[in-house]
Amino acid sequence: MSSKATIYSFLILGLAVTALLIVAPVVYAVSLSFYQMDSFVGAPKWAGLDNYTRMLSQWVFWRALINGFIYSFGTIIFQVVLGIGFALVLNQVFPGRNIVRGLSILPYLLPTVVVVLTFKWMVDGSIGVLTTMMSAVGLPQVQWFESPGAAMASVILVSVWMWTPFVTTTFLAALQTVPSSLYEAAKVDGTNAVQRFFHITLPMLKPILTVIVLLRAVWMFNKFDVIWLLTQGGPVGATEHLAILSYRQAFGQFDIGGGAAVATISFAILSLVVFIYFRLFPLDTE
């Protein structure tokens, strides 16, 4: 087999797998949004755009959309800022650096369910270890989930704790590619550390920053497990975003079409955001 044929065979195989595992389910999910269905066993009834108009007319949809943006922006900002900060620290030479580097990735390696349930029990208002310790030293009790704002903050906190290491590791790898001669030259020119960061490090990291922000945005906008395990969207729907609304609609409220409509709208919004993002921050201009 010629090398060209080999390339084509791999290409076809890849396309076939993509079509089977990604395109087909997406098309199927989008098609479900045009039908009225109680469950997957019944015969679907054509509903046209009814599911879309019905879901878009409900305030829970708009609440979920806003919550999704708050959650995504909140987590991305903290993950990127902290991630870059930690990467800069870990890029310095200090005793035990390799051990600290290894430890810093740990939160990312832990299963989500372990992290979330541990956090929940630690801050439990009655028997949580953190609650008991704070109470023992006379500190006031923190109401982690008692108000809509606190619940959103808690969800963001756990998400940032879990996924900042990914950003740190990526930036740390990128930092290794910045030539040290640039810093040395800048030092000779009398720049301070802040100036070097903004004029050398950040511009050099811009391509990776663009990709990281995009990836994190997509992942966080669709993130389901952390929120579901922590708050199930509560209290008062304050942490319910489109992914949770879609699931709840489809599998809780026996409205497969409505759930699929929410998922499709979410997909469309995300696609639009990605399109605009690439227009604003094109990858190939550098």
Partner 1 sequence: MDEIKKDGLSRRTLLKGAGALGAGIAAGGLAAPAVVRAQGTKTIRFLNAETSIDSIRALKVAAAEYEKQFGTKVVVDSVPLDGIFTKVTTSLRGGTPYDIATFAFIGHVLILASEGQLMPLNELTDKYKWGPNILFPVDGKVYWYPYDYNLAWIYYRKDLYEKNKLDVPKTWDGFLKNSQALNGDGTSGSLFPIGSNGATNWLSPGFMWAEGVQLFDDKWNIIFDNADMAPRASRYLDFFGDLYKTMPSGTSQASFGEVLSNFTSGKVAHTAYAGRIIETIERNNPALADKYGIMPYMDSAGKHQAVNHGYDGWVVLKTPQSDEAMKFMKWFTENQYINFLHTAPLHFQPPRLDVYDDARWRAHPLIEKHNAAVEMMKSFLTDKNMILTSIDTQGPSPSLKPGKIFEAFVFPEMLQNKVLKGMSSAECVKTAADRMRQVIAS
Any residues with CB less than 8 A from the CB of 139 and at least 6 apart, and which? none
How many Å apart are CA 87 and CA 173, to the nearest integer? 9
Number of amino acids touching partner 1 (CB under 8 A): 40
Quote the CA–CA distance of 131 and 122 in Å, as a whole number.
7
Binding mask 212-251 for partner 1 (x = CB under 8 A): -------------------xxxxxxx--x-------xx-x
User: Cα–chain-centroid distance for residue 191?
Assistant: 36
| Among 48, 102, 179, 252, interactor with partner 1 by CB under 8 A | 252
| The two three-digit tokens of residue 219, written as one number | 């992942």
Measured CA distances, 236 to 120, 150, 213, 231, 233 (Å) = 18, 12, 29, 10, 8
User: What string marks each residue from 162 to 201 as x (binds partner 1 by CB under 8 A) or -?
Assistant: ----------------------------------------
* Binding-site member from 34, 52, 145, 163 for partner 1 (CB under 8 A): 145
Q: Is 39 in the site for partner 1 (CB under 8 A)?
A: yes
For residue 141, the 8-state DSSP code is P
Contact letters for partner 1, residues 53-82 (x by CB under 8 A): -x---x-x----------------------
Encoded tokens for 46: 């054509």
Instruction: Using the minimum distance from each CB to partner 1, give the nearer residue, 83 or 257.
Output: 257
C-beta neighbour count of 11 within 10 angstroms:
10
Whole-number minimum distance, CB 248 to partner 1, in Å? 7
What is the rounded distance in angstroms from the CA atom of residue 182 to the CA atom of residue 160? 32
If the CB atoms of residues 53 and 195 are measured against partner 1, the closer one turns out to be: 53
Q: Cβ distance 185 to 257 under 8 Å?
A: no
Binding mask 103-142 for partner 1 (x = CB under 8 A): -----------------x--xxxxxx--x---------x-
Binding site for partner 1 (CB under 8 A): 38-42, 54, 58, 60, 120, 123-128, 131, 141, 143-148, 151, 231-237, 240, 248-249, 251-255, 258
